[in-house]
Amino acid sequence: MTPDNLSGIREASQRVLAGDRRALARVLTQLESGDPIAAEVLRAVDGHTGTGYTLGITGPPGTGKSTIADRLTEVIRQKDKTVCVLGVDPTSPYSGGALLGDRIRMQRHYLDPGVFIRSLATRGQMGGLPRIIKGMARLLDASGADVVLIETVGVGQTELGIMGVADTVLVALNPESGDGIQALKAGIMEIADIYVVNKSDRDGANQMAAYITAMLHTGPTPTDWVPPVLLTQARTGGGIDDLWAKVQEHRDYLISSGELDRRRTERRRSEFIETISEELVRRLNASLEADPGLIAILEQVAGKKAEPYSCALDFLASSELPFSRAGSTPFTGT
């Protein structure tokens, strides 16, 4: 790092900690683009994280997640708390950016100095959330946000990444979400701390809530917290106050049981491992374009002059990649 870079990092860190929106937006952009300066800012502000609370909202498309986020933001602001919203959208196949732009649904909060809104794209990553969302949430926490509200692109069998970033997870459904089997296929029965049946003025809302409640009592409960099932009409604000009260109740439970510290500790461990994995893949892909030796090996494998699995293990054993000589026993399939 040059002296100018170090000075810029110190200034950016101080401005983020002071809640400067422009500095925060700039560092978030740097983090999203992989700029190493963002990593240094994260390092500098990490000791100031842990006071904000992260609330995740997920569920199938069309259940009103953005409207719920909008109404929750309104209620939280009435409590004189600051809110930072991260809306994760599908990736545009043309620009690579966020396709839907949840900020459109939250325009009335734009001029509120206590609300910060940012949309970002999944960029095709598994889990429904890009890995960098965890670093972004910590930056928002360090900036003084009381609540970091994260809305995912939608839940599916593999889109469960919200569990790895949120303290409390809300799963939103509506009467048109499908029958019970469809709900189970979505994998939602394992991830929610609170269930929300939105658009509850429609036919089938009570039946959907009753079905979810029944399903929750058919299997073992891993903790003392039994996820409640709430009815809301987010478009009109109906039930949102009760929803926020239940979020507070869940937070109190997490704190008193020690579960909040456990979850946050596990998330930091997971982020460390995920970052290493992602960075190793990035470096390997870069080598495939620039390393003549690796390119030659790949051509041998492609031309059936070398067997892929055993050749890959040989490459790792002889390469300078970390962990390649750790002495671990390769997986043999037995």
Residue 176 buriedness (CB in 10 A; 0-12 / 13-18 / 19+): middle
Band of the pLDDT at 119, cuts 50, 70, 90?
confident
Of 195, 180, 188, residue with least CA distance to 163: 188
Token pair for 327: 């002495």
Amino acid (1-letter code) at residue 194? I
CATH classification for the domain delimited by 49-256, as one of 1.25.40.80, 3.40.50.300, 3.40.1180.10, 3.40.630.30: 3.40.50.300
Band of the pLDDT at 82, cuts 50, 70, 90?
very high
What pLDDT was estimated at residue 63?
87
Give the DSSP per-residue string, 97-159. Answer: SBSS-GGGGGGGGTT-TTEEEEEEE-TT-TTSS-TTHHHHHHHHHHTT-SEEEEE-S---SS-
Q: What is the pTM of this model?
A: 0.83
What pLDDT was estimated at residue 161?
79
pLDDT greater than 70 at residue 165: yes
The predicted model gives 32-46 an average pLDDT of 93
Of 167, 174, 205, residue with least CA distance to 51: 167
What pLDDT was estimated at residue 319?
73
Average pLDDT in the chain: 83
The predicted model gives 97-101 an average pLDDT of 48
pLDDT greater than 60 at residue 57: yes
Collapsing DSSP states into helix, strand and coil, what is residue 331? Answer: coil
What pLDDT was estimated at residue 219?
67
For 59-73, 112-126, 242-256, 294-308, which range has the lowest pLDDT when averaged over its residues? 112-126
The predicted model gives 56-74 an average pLDDT of 90
The neighbouring-strand residues paired with 148 are: 54, 84
For 32-36, 114-118, 142-146, 227-231, which range has the lowest pLDDT when averaged over its residues? 32-36
What pLDDT was estimated at residue 37?
93
Of 193, 215, 238, 157, residue with least CA distance to 57: 193
The predicted model gives 79-97 an average pLDDT of 74
pLDDT greater than 70 at residue 122: no
- Contact indicator for 54, 60 with CB cutoff of 8 Å: no
pLDDT greater than 50 at residue 222: yes
Amino acid (1-letter code) at residue 10? R
Strand order of the β-sheet with 194-197 is 115-121, 83-89, 147-151, 53-58, 168-173, 194-197, 229-231
The domain spans of the chain are 1-48, 49-256
- Contact indicator for 240, 68 with CB cutoff of 8 Å: yes
